[in-house]
Chain A
Amino acid sequence: MGQEFAVRASGLIKRFGDRRVVDGVDIAVPTGTIYGVLGPNGAGKTTTLRMLLGIIEPDGGTRTLLGHERPREASDRVGYLPEERGLYPAMRAKDAIAFMGALRGLDLKTGRKRAVALLEAAGLGHAVDTKIRKLSKGMAQLVQLLGAVVHQPDLLVLDEPFSGLDPVNQERLEALILAERDRGATVLFSTHVMAHAERLCDRLAIIAGGKRRFEGTVAEARGLLPMRAHYVPERDDAAIATHLPQDATHDERGWHFEVPDGGVEQALSRLIGAGHGIAGLSIERPGLHDAFVRIVGNAALEQGQ
């Protein structure tokens, strides 16, 4: 491929009426990585992806897709699973996959052969000749996903790929995304489910209110929040709170507080000195979920102001 970035966008803007749905978003997806676009519902994820793919034109900003400033020129090298799934109900599964490959330049004969192999690998070998209308929603979604990869694209763009799938199929999909990355493809997907992003993404961007609020690795996102301590005293009474940091909260499992800049040692010394002792102590890195909630919450506050 040769490019450092499979997708680059700078200052993307899209207005619908008076509303800026996407407001100056920058994205740079390194080639060969799995990149997540995260955001709450209505954040502008789908619109951003559609602009990157050239389905709609941005009102401002620039974008490059696989080295092409006109995304459509690269369309044969791209696979796309839209948020709103769509298949012809009267088509057989293998024909639907081959058809989607044909749209991207793959000849039908090869497409059908690959479709059969893909369906079998995905555990849907029995459904090769089944019409789409007879497949379950999850199976149809997998068929559409296979249609997005049948032509072995350099870039795979998946919009909310996990929605509507049961846990087994979600696991299959995660495996497929990893397999695509291992094949050398770049995978760009949107989601608002942090667990998938945490497991899959090499890098991610968090969008909220049409703006990019964060860009980096999962670890960097988690690093935005301080570590949290979980402390269980040997002796718990009303006086203990005076020896804990001010943000400490209590539940049935014990006390929780953010690790202060200077570490937990000072607080622990005070607690031991006061006779509360240490029955248990763990220091935890906050999850992506917490980072996401913090970032999106801040964005909401900012918008509210």
Chain B
Amino acid sequence: MSKLPRIVRQTFTIARRDFVATVFTPTFLLFLLSPLFTIGFGLVGGMGASSVASGSTDKTRIVAIVAPAQQAAMRAADARLRAMFPRGDRPATLTLENPSADPQAQARAAFAVRKGADVSAALFGDLTHPTILYDGQGRGDARYLAALAEATLRTNPTQTAPLSTATLTSIARIVPTEGGHKQAALVAVIGIFFLTLLLAGQLVGTMMEERSNKVIEVLAAAVSLEAVFFGKLLGMFGSALLFVAFWATLVSQISGILPAQYASAIGQIGPAVGVPIFFLLFFAYFAMAYLLLGAVFLGAGAQASTPRELQMLSLPITIIQVAMVGLALKAIGAPDAASTRFIELFPLSSPYAMAARAADKPDLWPHVAALGWQALWVAIAITIGARVFRRGVLKSGSGRPLFRRRNAVDISVS
């Protein structure tokens, strides 16, 4: 007999069974690849995506490092050229800078993170032969800067107008852009939502399987129902680990396979707290969201005696979860709003909103507080969930509607 404390041993026995039953099935492959099918859905409509996208486009800049004498002409040329673009397709806002002793270093430095702005392309050098640096998403802006250089030269009436020949150079970013932070936040929120939704569904599925196979009676006789409850949560969490590890490995390696400009674009998607800490925080917030939702789903699932009842119970929970994601996406679009503080504090939306915050803001202390706060709610949810689970599991499997179960009876009486 094992020396582990009984409840731990029993929990792991249940967890192992659920993990194996979930992972070693053909449907797990579908689950693993489901992000590919749900990329469109993953953007959760235009709401979050468009607000995030518009937020990041507004904050993109192009930089021209030109002599002060040429700046007025360039500004005029920019105004003239810019007016030719439809409103939604206009190039990023132009920022003019005086050249320093080392304009090339100055141009590269422009790509470093600036508060409230991301630079997508930077021009330096003589306008007849300028060099334009651009990042993974700035090729269009780089071409615009080349056109702007020529247009600037043409505004000088004394100029015999040699055509400008620009050299366009793609650079790899060493730090993510502010837009990249937003994108990382979006990925975090959608990722947590997507994972918890799928796992909670599977969790309730195994619960129903045991109810319909009558295995629950065997489990209830052998181990405490708390061990069954925790075992189920843990088993499915193991499946999630595998899922996250698979996709994390894939995404981390994919930039090495992609063409440089796309790899650079991916490189721009990065969290403010740094990748390792973000990964840890993402995982911690995912765990919190999953445990909260899983406890609610398991508690509710134990009350259902038929798949139809289960669907009826699951739908409102899922709707609430989608609403929480909507709130978190709103928080990404307005990180400093008062409503965002509420969204970060509200227990059901907190994991999503705080994961988004980790992508957007570098402070770490709010995460310590948030994880403590969420852990408290997880403990409450699990305590209540386990009790509801115990009561529900030992009720009749007669399939009577919930509203008729005022005095629930045992599985069988003989």
Seen from chain A, the residues whose Cβ lies within 8 Å of a Cβ on chain B are 16-18, 21, 39, 41-47, 50, 53, 55-56, 72, 75-76, 78, 80, 82-90, 99-100, 102-107, 144, 147, 160, 190
Contact = CB atoms under 8 A, between A and B. Distances in A.
A103 B227 CA distance: 10
A134 to B, nearest CB: 15
A16 B2 contact: no
Contacts of A147: 218
Interface in B218-272: 218-224
Interface of B: 1-2, 6, 9-10, 13-14, 17, 21, 25, 209-210, 213-224, 394, 397, 407, 409-414
Contact of B13 (A17, A21, A102, A190): A102
B407 A45 contact: no
Contact of A105 (B9, B216, B220, B410): B9
Contacts of A144: 218
A84 B410 contact: no
Nearest to A45: B414
A107 B221 CA distance: 18
Contacts of B14: 103
A84 B17 contact: no
Nearest to B1: A105
A50 B222 CA distance: 11
A99 B13 contact: yes
A103 B210 CA distance: 15
Given A76-B1, A105-B6, A100 B218 contact: yes
Given A76-B6, A103-B13, A88 B413 contact: no
Instruction: Decide if the interface of chain B is mainly helix, strand, loop or mixed.
Output: helix
Given A72-B224, A87-B213, A16 B409 contact: yes
A46 B217 contact: no
Most B-side CB within 10 Å, residue of A41, A43, A50: A50
A80 B414 contact: no
Contact of A42 (B219, B221, B414): B414
Most A-side CB within 10 Å, residue of B21, B209, B224, B411: B411
Given A46-B413, A47-B410, A76-B1, A86 B214 contact: yes
B13 A41 contact: no
B220 A85 contact: no
Contacts of A104: 222
B6 A53 contact: no
A49 B412 CA distance: 11
Contacts of A78: 221
Contact of A85 (B13, B214, B221): B214
Nearest to A104: B222
